[in-house]
Amino acid sequence: MDPARHIHAVRVYYEDTDAAGVVYYANYLRFAERARSEMLHAMGFSASRMTAESGVAIVVRWCEVDYIAPARLDDTLEIHTRVLSVEGAKLNLEQIVRCGGRDLTRLRLRLVSVSREGRPVRLPADLHDALNTLVQSGETE
Amino acid sequence: MDPARHIHAVRVYYEDTDAAGVVYYANYLRFAERARSEMLHAMGFSASRMTAESGVAIVVRWCEVDYIAPARLDDTLEIHTRVLSVEGAKLNLEQIVRCGGRDLTRLRLRLVSVSREGRPVRLPADLHDALNTLVQSGETE
Amino acid sequence: MDPARHIHAVRVYYEDTDAAGVVYYANYLRFAERARSEMLHAMGFSASRMTAESGVAIVVRWCEVDYIAPARLDDTLEIHTRVLSVEGAKLNLEQIVRCGGRDLTRLRLRLVSVSREGRPVRLPADLHDALNTLVQSGETE
Amino acid sequence: MDPARHIHAVRVYYEDTDAAGVVYYANYLRFAERARSEMLHAMGFSASRMTAESGVAIVVRWCEVDYIAPARLDDTLEIHTRVLSVEGAKLNLEQIVRCGGRDLTRLRLRLVSVSREGRPVRLPADLHDALNTLVQSGETE
């Protein structure tokens, strides 16, 4: 078990699929965001509490998605999330959607923590430290 | 042309369909809300301005949906919206999703205007009057 | 623990909410469908296998939704699903979305099993029997 | 008017926004797909007819998204689509989501035409030629 990698499982429902019989391409970004939320919760944080307490939100500034193979109705997917780096307001992640031991979709994302006015602000210190611990445990693998 | 009925056209895209090859059942509620928004805009109102100016939002309290026949990818749908009644904070609507002269889905809805705290409040007077005119032009048909 | 009632938990993510800060009204139908899928899986069935093996799909013909109170970001919701009756091709369900011991949304639905051509056909016998057992265990409560 | 650029307008509805008050990040991919569908329709093609006639579907293999500024409820967005290159089964596009003369989101995508079995196949000749004309009219600007 890799401490630097968070795994979240989702089932593919009708709502996720399209008339081509596969998961609609935008919905992998929904799966990825669910996985990031669950990773935050597993670390003791949540977006709603962070916004209420410090007015800070973490938003996606950039993402890149490789669609390798399609997921289908009733598949159980695993979203593997790895924090690549964290620095100031910036966070780099890799997220891989897997099914049956195979990579279906690979995402790389740059996230930024922003104030209510949308300006970049440093990540809350406790979250920054918790994320940084993940990065370092990943590096020493 | 019936002044009491607003018509909004939407195209069915991949995002609207599911692996059964038809429009996913929840998405007719999205189409219906688009049509209600467009009706408001056509009358000179908008949800965002109403919320900013008076803190009032119009929310769905109840709806009933009859699914008669499915819509498919690339279909052009017409959503016919008719205001049945308006009184105080309450609004009753009928919305019918049609394709090629045929009813696919029929919705009846009860909406309520609420304050920021979620309490029912009277509809803004100008919107109430504009909606009431629609009701009456429908009755005298 | 009530054997006639299936409970499925979902977390509310950003994708489920809207600019009013609450879960978008159509998305309760997505939650309800996830819960029905999970109930099928828990009983040893799945939509994809049923379609592949017998060409039968279960579709929603009618639903009614009462919106009582809104769900918000990061809420954990429970969807309680109860089979009210099953007869031939028809299935009546009640589904209640709860949070913190409180009903947020109540749905009643009529579902029908249909052939690939969209015509009503009897539910597969094993599924019919399994559902009927649920109905009866509910009646004898 | 630039013949190499297709423009499609969409209004932002509640369904597109999230609890942060802005358009949810995955939904720009929905807008982009709507614009690609409308571009196909404007050229006399459609995904549903193409799949029915030749079994060919055009799927996204890779995309990259820059999120520059957020869109909000009731905004009217323009999606500008430009075909960068077309060769064999491959298609490169740039899509820019604009509002009030400002770029909000920029996407680059690689699409591939695939057979029913998911294998890359050449684009239908008439579509290839029509797309190629767009590329060349863009180059000679």
User: Which is higher by pLDDT, B132 or C4?
Assistant: B132
List, as one string, the DSSP characters of C36-61. HHHHHHHTT--HHHHHHHH--EEEEE
Contacts of B59 in chain C (CB under 8 A): 20, 25, 67
**Cα(first)–Cα(last) distance of chain C, in Å?**
11
Phi, psi for residue C36 in degrees, rounded to 5 = -65, -40
Confidence of residue A141 (pLDDT cuts 50, 70, 90): low
Looking at residue C141, its pLDDT comes to: 54
Segment C24-39 mean pLDDT: 98
Among the residue ranges B2-16, C93-107, D102-116, the one predicted with the least confidence is B2-16
Least CB-CB distance to B13: which of D37, D49, D72?
Answer: D37
Whether residues B30 and C30 touch (CB distance < 8 A) is answered with no
Chain D residue numbers with beta carbons less than 8 Å from the beta carbon of A61 are 66-67
> Average per-residue pLDDT in chain C?
94
Q: Tell me how crowded residue D93 is: count the other CB atoms within 10 A of its CB.
A: 23
Structure tokens at D5: 């650029």
The fold adopted by the segment(s) D6-138 is Thiol Ester Dehydrase; Chain A (3.10.129)
The angle at the Cα of C101, spanning A55 to A51, to the nearest 5 degrees, equals: 5
pTM of the model: 0.96
- DSSP string over chain A: --TTEEEEEEE--GGGB-TTSSB-TTHHHHHHHHHHHHHHHHTT--HHHHHHHH--EEEEEEEEEEE-S---TT-EEEEEEEEEEEETTEEEEEEEEEETTEEEEEEEEEEEEE-TTS-B-PPPHHHHHHHHHHHHHHHT-
The closest of D80, B64, D137, A91 to C106, measured between CA atoms, is B64
Q: Which residues of A touch C49 (CB under 8 A)?
A: 74
> Is C11–A34 a contact, with Cβ atoms under 8 angstroms apart?
yes
Maximum mean pLDDT: which of A112-126, B42-56, D64-78, D112-126: D64-78
| ipTM score above 0.90 | yes
pLDDT value at position A43?
A: 94
**Residues of chain B predicted below pLDDT 50:** none
CA distances (Å), origin B112, targets B109, B120, B121, C68, D128? 10, 7, 8, 12, 51
Confidence at A44, pLDDT banded by 50, 70, 90: very high
Set of chain C residues whose Cβ sits within 8 Å of the Cβ of D15: 18, 24, 26
Q: What is the largest CA-CA distance in chain D?
A: 45
Residue A140's pLDDT is what?
Answer: 62
A-C C-beta contacts closer than 8 Å: 46
Residue D137: per-residue pLDDT = 83
Q: What amino acid positions of A are annotated as catalytic residues?
A: 18
Query: What's the DSSP call for residue D26?
Result: T
Of B33, B66, B69, nearest to C62 by CB-CB distance is B66
Over residues D88-93, the mean pLDDT reads: 95
Instruction: Tell me how far apart the alpha carbons of residues B73 and B67 are, in angstroms, rounded to a whole number.
Output: 17
Q: How far is D73 from chain A (nearest CA, A)?
A: 16
Beta strands in chain C (DSSP E): 5-11, 57-67, 76-87, 90-99, 102-114
In chain C, which residue's Cα lies nearest the Cα of A49? Answer: C74
- Pick B13's closest partner by Cβ from D13, D34, D74: D34
Domain boundaries, chain B: 6-138
Mean pLDDT of C88-111: 97
